[in-house]
Structure 1
Amino acid sequence: MDTLNIGNVSLTWLSGGVTYLDGGAMFGVVPKGLWSNKYPANEKNQIECPTDPIYIQMNGKNILVESGLGAGKLTEKQLRNYGVTKESEIVKSLEQLELTPEDIDYVLMTHLHFDHACGLTKLVDGKYVSVFPNAQIITSQVEWDEMRRPNIRSKNTYWKENWEAVETQVIPFKEKWELGNITMIHTGGHSDGHSILLIEDGGEVLIHMADLMPTHAHQNVLWVMAYDDYPMTSIAAKQKWVSLGLAKNAWFTFYHDAFYRAVKWDADGKQITATLKRQP
């Protein structure tokens, strides 16, 4: 399992599923001749996009960032449309860490799109129940409101199957939420309620940009997804947080990257100076 330490904060990537999504949608208006040099596509013009939650161990607390794709929830049509080649193996991943879903104290949801939130619930005897029954589920108030009352566009990704069984566990925040060395910050952009994570400890800095920068190939502030509801907000947030991260020699971590778990760039953002590669 791939692990990164930021001071005394430990991050480990779990197996949350794999999707293959349209490369054009993932890179928006960026020409394929540019993005495919950084992130190759298959013969269907799809790129590999894992959905791997990050397990954080900090001050005796067990924390997840995102919940994975879930297992047994998607229809055959959905599996085909989203190019799913593997569903979530979160329970097995936690077992390797000698943990169970009941041991999780917090689940930090940067947003609640299906590929991040399906792992929050599971079917038991025909009824959806919480996968992490003892956890507080943290997300922005804006995101939580839209999850329950999606608009004509967002209803395709905000599903009641992913929130009704856990609504008593959800703790929404307005602008930011803090726990120890972790700060969760509402940015908007990819979704109206999208958030990022900032971890600082021992003089080290990590920024989890979530779907503002889903892969290392999205580092250019103008390279935003066609899936983004508010692309200009995404660009403004990337300008702010990528600049801050470069200035602080921060690690940037990923949920969707098929090649890297984490990357550092030089101060100009032109050269990769350190990586944690995703193991096969």
Structure 2
Amino acid sequence: MDTIQIGEAALTWLNGGNTRLDGGAMFGVVPKPLWSKRYPADERNRIELRSDPIHLQINGKNILIESGVGKGKMSEKQIRNFGVTEESQIEMSLAELGLSPADIDIICMTHLHFDHASGLTKRKGDRFATVFPNAVIYTSQIEWDEMRNPNIRSRNTYWKENWEPVAEQVKTFTGIFTVAEGITMIHTGGHSAGHSMITIENNGQRAVHMGDIMPTHAHQNALWVTAYDDYPMDSIRAKLKWIPAEMEAESWFVFYHDACFRAVKWDQNGKVLQEVKRK
């Protein structure tokens, strides 16, 4: 498993599954001759996208960022349409760290689309049950409201089997919220109305997970937003605000979806200072 160190906190990527989605959709109005130089596509114009949760431990608390695509929950049609080539292996990944799902104390969800939230629940007989029984699940109030009452566009990605079994575990916030010492969730909107980003600070070092307003390293340009963004101008505003500031701070940008890089550190001009490639 890939790991980077932020101060005394080790960030470790678990195996949350793999999808292949249309590259044009993932890069919106950006022409393929531009984005394909930064991120490879296959012969069907699909790009590989991981869905790998990040584990970290701070003050004895086991924390996950996102939850993976889940296992044994999708129909054959969904697997085909979403290009799922691998389902989650979270329990196996946690076991390599000497942990089980019951050891997870906190889960930070940037948003609750199926490719982020499906790992929260699992099939148990003829119903669905929580995967992480002892975890508090944090997401924004706006996101939680839409998850439970999706509109005509969002109902295809907000699934009741992903929220009903964990409803009692969910705690929400508005604006900016400190989850634990050094871990902050910030509502950005953009990709969804309730989308949030996450910052991690420890011993003078810093990392930022911008969720799906910057799903891969190739989305560094503020104008490169996905066609899946419900409010693209909000995505652009958030990127214009946060990316330059985090570059100036020489923060690590860490990714959930990137199939090429786990983390990248840029200078103020966008030049790569350090990078961690996915193994």
- TM-score per shorter chain, which class? over 0.9
**Using the alignment, how far apart are the partners of 2:181 and 2:9 within structure 1?**
10
**Using the alignment, how far apart are the partners of 2:161 and 2:98 within structure 1?**
28
**Using the alignment, how far apart are the partners of 2:50 and 2:182 within structure 1?**
26
Map residues 203-218 of structure 1 onto 2, 5 A cutoff. Answer: 203-218=204-219
Which secondary structure does the structure 2 equivalent of 1:237 belong to? helix
- Corresponding residue for 1:130? 130
**Using the alignment, how far apart are the partners of 2:83 and 2:76 within structure 1?**
10
- Corresponding residue for 2:142? 142
**Using the alignment, how far apart are the partners of 1:88 and 1:177 within structure 2?**
28
Q: Which runs of 5+ in 2 are unaligned?
A: none
- How far off is 1:128 after superposition? 0.4
**Using the alignment, how far apart are the partners of 2:246 and 2:68 within structure 1?**
26
**Using the alignment, how far apart are the partners of 2:100 and 2:126 within structure 1?**
22
Letter in 2 for 1:143: E
- Corresponding residue for 2:240? 239
**Using the alignment, how far apart are the partners of 1:241 and 1:5 within structure 2?**
22
Deviating beyond 2 angstroms after TM superposition, the runs of 4 or more aligned structure 1 residues are none
Between the aligned residues of both structures, percent identity stands at 63
Q: Render the CA deviation track for 1:241-274: whole Å, top value 9, x for unaligned.
A: 10111110110000000010000112111x2110
- Corresponding residue for 2:185? 184
Letter in 2 for 1:214: P
Map residues 1-280 of structure 1 onto 2, 5 A cutoff. Answer: 1-178=1-178, 179-269=180-270, 271-279=271-279
**Using the alignment, how far apart are the partners of 1:137 and 1:190 within structure 2?**
20
Which secondary structure does the structure 2 equivalent of 1:163 belong to? helix
Which secondary structure does the structure 2 equivalent of 1:273 belong to? strand
Q: Which runs of 5+ in 1 are unaligned?
A: none
Q: Render the CA deviation track for 1:108-137: whole Å, top value 9, x for unaligned.
A: 100000000000000111110000000000
- How far off is 1:203 after superposition? 1.6
**Using the alignment, how far apart are the partners of 2:250 and 2:137 within structure 1?**
30
**Using the alignment, how far apart are the partners of 2:193 and 2:9 within structure 1?**
29
TM-score, normalising length from structure 2? 0.99
Letter in 1 for 2:187: H
TM-score, normalising length from structure 1? 0.98
**Using the alignment, how far apart are the partners of 1:9 and 1:118 within structure 2?**
26
Which secondary structure does the structure 1 equivalent of 2:37 belong to? helix
**Using the alignment, how far apart are the partners of 1:59 and 1:277 within structure 2?**
28
Which secondary structure does the structure 2 equivalent of 1:57 belong to? strand
Letter in 2 for 1:133: P
Q: Which moved more, 1:197-206 or 1:184-193?
A: 197-206
**Using the alignment, how far apart are the partners of 1:106 and 1:204 within structure 2?**
21
Letter in 2 for 1:188: G
Letter in 2 for 1:275: E
- How far off is 1:10 after superposition? 1.5
Q: Which moved more, 1:102-111 or 1:174-183?
A: 174-183
**Backbone CA RMSD of aligned residues:** 0.6
**Using the alignment, how far apart are the partners of 2:244 and 2:73 within structure 1?**
39
Which secondary structure does the structure 1 equivalent of 2:137 belong to? strand
Letter in 1 for 2:174: K
